[in-house]
Amino acid sequence: MTGGERKQTAKPILVKTTDEIKIMRDANQIVAETLSMLFDVVEPGITTFELDCLAEDLCRKRNSTPAFKGYHGFPSSLCVSINEEVVHGIPSRKRKLKKGDVLSVDFGVCYKGFYGDSAVTIPVGKIKKPVHDLLRVTKESLELAIKEIVPGNRVADISRAVQSHAEKNGYSIVRQFVGHGIGNSLHEGPEIPNFISKGQTPRLIEGMVVAVEPMVNLGTHKVKVLRDGWTVITADKKVSAHFEHSIAVTANGPLVLSDRSDFSDK
């Protein structure tokens, strides 16, 4: 889940111990396993409600609790956002996936008091080339941002990496929602915008854990929130993509806690 609308009161930046980062790795690996499982089950005809049930079941089987359910009143375990939906879509029994859709799934858990948070955009069957390219570039923008997560860099270095790669490829960056620090709370400081703005940003120090989550649009950067109070869509109804990892700042460089390499993504 994203850090929500900007201009909230700044949340504290909390540095974690090595042992705490180990627990956060475990939390994020439950998220990684769940997203990987969703890659395998997503197909035309399945409802987003079924996906929500599968994710929640696996999360509870791993002795964790879904982080988003009940968060500011969000009703479900997964955020499911299809095509022009950017983030925070609500699973529904009535919403079946169709061939050619792209599904952004965002999932978070709480395990032993610590949070994990990660998101991916999954193609449903074969998708059109422009949409495929959008997904690839959004994922690349996250990978480039991760390389900047080293002690001594600033949050702006993360933001710049995402923004420059996405905009160079002709896409736009959602500005209303941002990434965030993560730890004992789902959303801690600092905010991690996917774009550069004026003013100095916090320096990255060893022990910080950040959730970086580019939301990249095919058309306008402008978004609006639907009447359900949650679902964010692009103002021009063009497709949006969302990828997110939770990453620890360590002396040895970025440690991607939600890495899925132990699981079998298609």
Q: CA angle at residue 242 from 122 to 169, to 5 degrees?
A: 105
Q: Which is nearer to Mg ion, 98 or 141 (CB)?
A: 141
Distance CA 125, CA 224 (A): 28
Please name the helix (run of DSSP H) or strand (run of DSSP E) that holds residue 89, with its range, or none.
Answer: none
Q: How far apart are CA 258 and CA 266, in angstroms?
A: 17
Residue whose CB is less far from Mg ion, 51 or 119: 119
Residue 222 C-beta: closest distance to Mg ion, Å: 21
Tell me how long the chain is: 266
Site residues for Mg ion per CB under 5 A: 1, 106, 117, 119, 211, 244
Omega prior to 123 cis, within 30 of 0:
no
Partners of residue 248 on adjacent β-strands: 209, 255
Q: Which is nearer to Mg ion, 1 or 146 (CB)?
A: 1
Taking the complex as a whole, the smallest distance from the CB of residue 169 to Mg ion amounts, in Å, to 23
Walk across the sheet containing 223-225 and list its strands.
Answer: 85-87, 232-234, 223-225
Minimum distance between the CB of residue 75 and Mg ion, rounded to whole angstroms?
A: 16
Q: Which is nearer to Mg ion, 200 or 217 (CB)?
A: 217
CB of residue 236 vs Mg ion: minimum separation in angstroms?
24
